[in-house]
């Protein structure tokens, strides 16, 4: 793994990162996704999320107006000369971040936080320049998928020793912890989480003669169920695969491969990408689903811009999507209500599941003058009380996997939240310094491989080998 990433290079790739986040934005992945998040005020995507910005693949023209991020809520701002400064990217889960900072400020009036949202497209360059000049915020919310690049560049404060007695770290979201760790040292904790899961329309299940309380447990069952649902006609299809969105696919199809025992990305030069029979098995399954017309034709053009709106139409039997879709679907279905359930994304073998964990980390930029106070805020977020009374109460996911955190009055009132929270225990987040180039680039090898699987009859072995070669080359640049 490279041991140094120069600041100019980090600034130069800002535009690439923007494309990655916006591609994953509609997924909630890190902004896979990865992940920024569409999370409702979610999440997310990831992010990822999250923001449903679609799949921009280029920077705006110089003449294009620079968007102004929405300001933080009044209770998350402070003019106190002693206030800590916190930056968070726009396009993420603003509702949740506002809630967290407002709660901190109410509980800590002598060391408040002044929260500022930075336009997502400017965030990476701004922090890189700040580190170089010493003008950095005290703490920062960061799209989790890009944390390894900042850690590798030595631009974040190592919190390993200061947090060694935090018992909550034992069950923190595994995806967040993975990308917050570099060379066995910890650099951040979760700010919020988005996860991918299998949403299914119980009304369509019933109409197709399926048990609405028994979601599929394998890819073969998804295919079988989808055939019956598609046969209902009237524009109904059994499944949704986003045909032109790299981030959406790593958020929702990537877990199908992981659950089938596959490895997708090359973490570093020398690693082998697209390893395991699960890659070809999922490619073949998806090709068969498209050929059987179990996927709507319009999904071929899906860039991510309308991805989060598909399930709420009531015309899709099943689809991989994120926790943010609970709120979005309920809002959409006011004119056409239907019952739906949430399960985990399965693999080829019944009972094997996986999920993409997206969202944001909270980190401390190198040069922060308030490290101890920033650490106190990080620890505050992990506390049982905050996990329930802030995250769960707002119908967001906890960022820890302890089952007691989902056994709360808020999730009992909305049982689907408890169902989707189970994805945290089987989730993962890719760890790579070249995530955009390998995975989220709209013209990159990940999406090209999937599109050839979905829409051509090219031999899958060749399709996978071509993508493998390209991803290996990228990982060694």
Q: Which domain holds residue 224?
A: 197-355
Cα→Cα distances 332→25, 298, 336, Å: 19, 19, 8
Q: Summarize pLDDT for 216-260 with one digit per residue, the tens.
A: 999 999 999 999 999 999 999 999 999 999 989 999 999 999 999
Token pair belonging to 206: 């019933």
- The pLDDT of residue 123 is 80
Examine residue 416 and state whether it is found in any structural domain, yes or no.
yes
Give me the pLDDT at residue 124, please.
76
What's the number of domains the chain is made of?
2
Q: What is the pLDDT of residues 151-204, one digit of tens each?
A: 998 999 999 999 999 999 999 998 899 999 999 999 999 999 999 999 999 999
pTM, two decimals, is 0.78
CB distance 141 to 110 below 8 Å: no
> Do 180 and 212 reside in the same domain of the chain?
no
Last residue of a domain, one of 355, 379, 399: 355
> Which residue positions in the chain have pLDDT lower than 70?
1-67, 121
Burial code (b: 16+ CB inside 10 Å, e: under 16) for 413-431 equals: eeebbbbbbbbbebbbbbb
Same domain, 299 and 423: no
User: Does residue 419 lie within any of the structural domains?
Assistant: yes
Q: Domain containing 233 — which CATH number? A: 3.40.190.10
Task: Check whether residue 217 and residue 335 sit in a common domain.
Answer: yes
* Domain termination residue (choose one: 320, 335, 355): 355
């Amino acid at each position: 793994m490279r041991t140094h990433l120069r600041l100019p290079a980090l600034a130069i790739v800002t535009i690439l990162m923007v494309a990655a986040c916006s591609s994953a934005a509609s997924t909630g992945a890190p902004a896979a996704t990865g992940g920024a998040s569409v999370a409702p005020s979610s999440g997310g995507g990831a992010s990822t999320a999250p923001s449903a910005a679609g799949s921009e693949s280029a920077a705006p023209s110089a003449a294009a107006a620079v968007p102004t991020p929405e300001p933080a809520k009044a209770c998350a701002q402070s003019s106190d000369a002693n206030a800590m400064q916190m930056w968070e990217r726009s396009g993420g889960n603003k509702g949740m971040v506002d809630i967290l900072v407002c709660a901190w400020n109410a509980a800590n009036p002598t060391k408040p936080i002044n929260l500022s949202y930075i336009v997502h497209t400017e965030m990476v360059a701004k922090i890189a320049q700040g580190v170089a000049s010493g003008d950095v915020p005290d703490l920062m919310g960061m799209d989790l998928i890009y944390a390894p690049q900042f850690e590798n560049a030595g631009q974040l404060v190592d919190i390993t020793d200061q947090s060694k007695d935090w018992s909550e770290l034992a069950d923190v979201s595994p995806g967040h912890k993975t990308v917050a760790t570099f060379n066995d040292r910890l650099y951040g904790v979760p700010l919020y989480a988005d996860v991918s899961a299998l949403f299914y329309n119980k009304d369509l299940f019933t109409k197709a003669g399926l048990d609405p309380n028994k979601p599929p447990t394998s890819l073969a069952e998804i295919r079988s169920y989808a055939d019956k649902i598609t046969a209902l006609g009237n524009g109904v299809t059994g499944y949704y695969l986003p045909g032109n969105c790299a981030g959406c696919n790593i958020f929702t199809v990537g877990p199908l491969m992981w659950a089938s025992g596959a490895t997708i990305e090359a973490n570093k030069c020398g690693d082998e990408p697209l390893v395991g029979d699960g890659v070809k098995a999922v490619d073949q399954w998806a090709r068969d689903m498209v050929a059987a017309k179990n996927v709507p034709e319009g999904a071929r053009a899906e860039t991510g811009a309308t991805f989060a709106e598909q399930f709420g139409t009531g015309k899709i039997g099943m689809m991989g999507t994120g926790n943010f879709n609970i709120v979005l679907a309920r809002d959409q279905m006011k004119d056409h209500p239907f019952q739906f359930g949430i399960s985990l994304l399965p693999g080829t073998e019944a009972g094997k599941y996986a999920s993409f964990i997206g969202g944001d980390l909270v980190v401390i930029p190198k040069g922060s003058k308030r490290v101890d106070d920033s650490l106190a805020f990080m620890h505050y977020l992990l506390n049982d009380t905050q996990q329930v009374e802030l995250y769960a109460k707002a119908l967001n996911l906890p960022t820890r996997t302890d089952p007691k955190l989902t056994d709360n009055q808020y999730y009992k009132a909305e049982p689907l939240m408890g169902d989707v929270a189970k994805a945290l225990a089987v989730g993962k987040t890719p760890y790579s310094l070249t995530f955009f180039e390998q995975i989220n680039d709209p013209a990159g090898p990940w999406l090209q491989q999937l599109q050839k699987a979905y829409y051509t009859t090219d031999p899958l072995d060749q399709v996978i080998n071509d993508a493998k070669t390209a991803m290996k080359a990228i990982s060694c640049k």
